[in-house]
Amino acid sequence: MGACDGTQKISTAWREGDTLPEIGFVLPDGAAVADYTIELRVSRPDGTILVKPAVDLGGSAGKFTWATTDLQEGANQRCEIHRVDAAFDELTSPAFLIDVEPRVGT
């Protein structure tokens, strides 16, 4: 299910404090993760933007990991992936949404 503007929503719901699941990706056309600066940007409910650098898994595969303090409770948090090459050309993914539920036991 997406937002009213057509933004896609990831069906997984994280909880505050979660470190899993991670978000994995594969770059198209065999592009190497090492040749780019790749970041996940999450617009959090408190108005801040969380910036997570990609972890290079070798070749065109990468992932974004979470620290226990990264995820804040809130629905429809807007995320984008930014990829910048050596010439500083930037490509931004279509936005997607994630939900973060309250920590269990709070």
Query: pLDDT digit string (tens) for 45-87?
Result: 999 999 999 999 999 999 999 999 999 999 999 999 999 998 9
Confidence of residue 91 (pLDDT cuts 50, 70, 90): very high
Residue 106 within a domain: no
| Domain hosting residue 22, numbered range | 8-101
**Structural Rg of the chain based on CA atoms:** 14
Is-above-0.75 flag for pTM? yes
Cα–Cα distance, 88 to 34 (Å, whole number): 14
Please count the structural domains in the chain.
1
Report how far apart, in Å, the C-alpha atoms of 9 and of each of 2, 30, 41, 71, 72 are. Answer: 5, 26, 15, 16, 17
Residue 1 within a domain: no
CATH of the domain at 20: 2.60.40.10
Query: pLDDT digit string (tens) for 15-35?
Result: 999 999 999 999 999 999 999
